[in-house]
Every structure is written in structure tokens, then in C-alpha cells.
Structure 1
């Protein structure tokens, strides 16, 4: 398998014609066909169902098509960044919790720099940011420890306390901390399998057992928080994301007998080739995180290293 084969297959899934693909990428039709056949041979499976009169992908073809699109998107991102004149742009990846908290402070601090660089922020989950780090598309990245990427030396951590929250009308009057079994009885808003919170929450409430109440799933932290606000159910979240809602009484923090481990956000990548600029931005990130944690001590802890 190589990039040219994936590129040809990607455009074939879009244009659904060997000739149109050939015209688009500047090849002959036999050359396109050879790349597709080579890709199938490398995987050992058929990607196109040739028994159908219309262009049809096999089940394996659909799966490869999704990866091909992701691969080409990463390639395009990396290429465009490398071609940026004198690398004036700077890219920072942030997990969603950071983008909603001290990431806002960091953006303002960068904007106040003399000759401030043009910074692109990429917000997403570990699963979104990990390939961008590995491809070199990001100059700096802050993710949770579950991403499997080593923390850079002399860095810092921000611990986001994870707790349960819900609307008062969902949980009623709480007289004592709830046990995991009592949490299971509630309607719950859960995380997708790719989230670092999916495993700890599912293990705590033993989701493999009978589910006595409704189970909903949000595809991002922001969506889950909105679903909790709308009354779909209770959820375990980094409580800093709901601090204002809890303070106003719209939501309540649910006391529990068993606590979940905090989310540990850390810097896992810096562009060493841009040493001066990277050091300046990294120090601003440290200041932003420390200031925000000091202003919100109930749910956030700053740990210098």
C-alpha cells in the first residue's frame, strides 16, 4: 500500500469513474486501474463489488475509504503547513476541556504578544489530536494522559476534577452520597468508546449488567453538557465545564461514595524546530493554566513539574 494508491481509491469513491479519476489526477485510465488493483492486492480483499452494474464498494471498501479520507486530510494539512511562507502560522491542539477553560486565556495572551503570530487552534478529543501530533501538523498539543503520548520534560499538568451532575428534577432530593448501584438507577448520558472517560464510567456503574433506566450518548463533551442541561440524565463530567450552571442552581453536583480519577491534561508535543517562538507560547500556556486554576480552585488543580 502506498499514498498514490490511497489517493486514487479516495477519488474513485468520490467520482465513481476510472476515467474521471484519471482526468482529475492526471493519469491514464489503465494507470488508475493498476493502482486500485495494487491496493486490493496489498490488503488481500476486494474493495469494489464488480458484480454490480453500478459502482459499489464492498464492506471492506467502505472501511478503507474512511481511512483513505483521513489520511489524505492529514497529508493536506501537513503539506499546507510546511509550505506556509516562513512558517508564520502556529498551530496548537487542545482537548475540548482546555479550549473551553484556560485555552481562552491563552488565546488572549498570544494576541497581546508583540508581533503576535497567527495561531490556529485545533480543538477535539485525544482520538482527533493524536494523528495530528504524529504527522507533525501541530506545533504544540495538550491532551489527557490516556492519549498514550509522553509528557514533554519540564512541563505542567492541569487536573480537572470529574464528578456527577444533573438537573434537580432528574435526581430529586439527594439525602446522602449515591453508590454506583444508585447511579445505575438514573437515566445517564454516557461517552463514546473513544473518550478517556468511557472506560472508568462504564466500569463504575457496571454497564455490562441490566440497564434499569435510559442510556444516552453524546459524541463530545460540549454535547454531553448540553444534554445534561436539557434534562436527558446525569453524567460524569469535568465539573469545571458546568461550574456556572451548578453555581446558579440549574444543575446540582451529585455526591457519590466512589470518586472518579481526575482528567490529567498535559503538554505532549512542542515543535523544537521553532524553539524561540515555541518557548514563548509554552510559557504563556503555563501562565494561562495557572491563572485559570487559581481562579477556579473548586474543580481544577494546577501541578507544576
Structure 2
């Protein structure tokens, strides 16, 4: 019995299939099948009930899963307390919303690379809805999204919120929301749904609303006088400083965008846990500096 066989067994059990485990471990499906078959031969016990649906653990498989989780926990403890982080290797799959990508994400990537110079990274930028699904399906290890994720298996680390302010073009003073379109986040996001609800309550159905997943494109449309909209000041600062847009009071005050660094807590990964803490530290320092800059 080898540690790699145990690790492979754990991921097959966790993900419910050989193909998903193969993708997670960066192995071929036959290699995963061979490891499980050899483990079953050595233990002289079936670990899975194989049928047309998802794999189901046998009684012996359920017992082994308990020991496998303990072994992986000990491995992570060793990495945390003994291993040199600069020598760590592997792959960290990160997902981030565009708000994060356009604010403190580059600083996080720099801090992470300095601490883990030999760890590769796979970065996905998407809306929070898709990031949540990818995390729960274990296609991503750590996500920075509008959270928290209310699943018992997910650990959420609170991050600084982003407050939304209304912007219009300097070249177009129109702020009547029944006369100029409003542009917002993607239609599959909470900020969009909340804004639509408030606009309908105050102005009825005559307000035109554009939905865009690209925050940079949205702010450029505002700068061109095509629309107005509520966005984080941190993202609007370049256009504010360039004198192309200004803030105004639209009479609607959206809720702050609340973010979390979220990851599946089991099986434990010290690399993921430490990365979430790095993100929290970077985000809070960035938020502190941004607030001071905004006051000036």
C-alpha cells in the first residue's frame, strides 16, 4: 500500500468518479483505475460498488476513507510546520471576480509568488455564480467572489467590501434615470438584481438597463456619456483622475459588494488555507491605502 494509492482513493471517493479524480490529480483515467485496483487487491476488499451511476463506497471503503482523511491531514500538518514554503511545488487553481481582478488581485499574485516561487497557478476570472459552481465541483481550489458560500463543506474568509458610487460623464450632465440608460453588472449577479428591483420601485419599467460582465467596458461607456451606473470607486479612479467622469447622487444607494475568499475545507490543504490568508492580508492593506487615497 502506497501513499499515492491512498491519496487517489480519497479523491475518487470525494469526487465520486475515476474521471474527476484523474483530472484533479493530473493523471490518466487508466492510471487512477490501476491504483484503485491494486489497492483493493492488496486489502483483499472491494472499496466501491460499481454501477451505472456514481460510485458508492462499500463498508470497507467507508472505513478506509476515515483513515485516508487522517493521513492527508497529517501530511498537511507536516507541510505547515516542517516544510520550506519556497520549496513547495504543485498547482493552485484560483478563481476571481472581475472586481477583485481589477483591484488587489495583482498584489496577491505578487505576494503569493514571492512565498511560493515554485507553485504554478491557473487563474480564472468570471462572475461569482460560475466561480461558486466551479469551487463546489472542485474544478477550482480557491475563489475570490461575492460571498459567502453557504455550504457546510466551504470555509469562507471575509474580505473588505466595496462601496458603490454613481458615475456620469463630464461631457454629459444628464442624470435623470428615466432619460439615460443605466449600466450595471452581469444580469446573473446580485448587484444587478438588487439594482433592477430598486429602479423598478422608484421609476417603473421605463428605465433602460444595460448589463455587462466587463467592468472596464462599462466604465468606458459611462465616460463616453452613453450611460450612468454604480461602481466601486477603486475601479473608477483612473477615469475620475483623468477628469472624464464624476460622482453624483442618483437617489439609489446600492448595498456594498461583500467578498470572501472561499475554499472547500476537506480534504485539508495548507497551500489553499495559506493562500486565503495571504489574500485577506493583501486585500485589507489595499483597502486601507485605497481609503486614504480616496480621502485625498
Alpha-carbon distance in 1 for matches of 2:114, 2:260: 24
Q: In structure 2, do the counterparts of structure 1 residues 284 and 192 end up closer, same or farther at CA, with 3 Å as the change threshold? A: closer
Structure 1 segment 181-200 matched on structure 2, within 5 A: 182-200=176-194
What are the Cα deviations for residues 266-286 of structure 1, in whole angstroms up to 9, with x where unaligned? 122245435321232122111
Alpha-carbon distance in 2 for matches of 1:281, 1:250: 37
Q: State the match for 1:211 in structure 2.
A: 206
Structure 2: unaligned runs, 5 residues or longer: 1-17, 29-87
Q: In structure 2, do the counterparts of structure 1 residues 280 and 190 end up closer, same or farther at CA, with 3 Å as the change threshold? A: closer
Structure 1 segment 10-25 matched on structure 2, within 5 A: none
Q: CA RMSD in A?
A: 3.2
Task: Determine if contact 1:189/1:234 at 8 Å carries over to the other structure.
Answer: yes
Q: In structure 2, do the counterparts of structure 1 residues 114 and 210 end up closer, same or farther at CA, with 3 Å as the change threshold? A: closer
Q: In structure 2, do the counterparts of structure 1 residues 279 and 218 end up closer, same or farther at CA, with 3 Å as the change threshold? A: closer
Alpha-carbon distance in 1 for matches of 2:123, 2:167: 29
* TM-score where L is the length of structure 2: 0.63
Q: State the match for 2:221 in structure 1.
A: 227
Q: Secondary structure at the match of 2:222?
A: helix
Alpha-carbon distance in 2 for matches of 1:215, 1:290: 33
Alpha-carbon distance in 2 for matches of 1:77, 1:233: 44
Q: In structure 2, do the counterparts of structure 1 residues 146 and 139 end up closer, same or farther at CA, with 3 Å as the change threshold? A: closer
Q: State the match for 2:60 in structure 1.
A: none
Q: State the match for 2:129 in structure 1.
A: 127
Task: Determine if contact 2:135/2:143 at 8 Å carries over to the other structure.
Answer: yes
Structure 1 segment 36-47 matched on structure 2, within 5 A: none
1:82 aligns with 2:77: no
What are the Cα deviations for residues 79-98 of structure 1, in whole angstroms up to 9, with x where unaligned? 43322699811111111111
Q: State the match for 2:233 in structure 1.
A: 239
1:162 offset after TM fit, Å?
Answer: 1.0
Structure 1 segment 141-290 matched on structure 2, within 5 A: 141-145=143-147, 155-172=157-174, 182-206=176-200, 209-211=204-206, 215-270=209-264, 272-273=266-267, 275-290=269-284
Structure 1: unaligned runs, 5 residues or longer: 1-74, 173-177, 301-305
* TM-score where L is the length of structure 1: 0.61
Aligned residue pair count = 217
Q: In structure 2, do the counterparts of structure 1 residues 79 and 236 end up closer, same or farther at CA, with 3 Å as the change threshold? A: farther
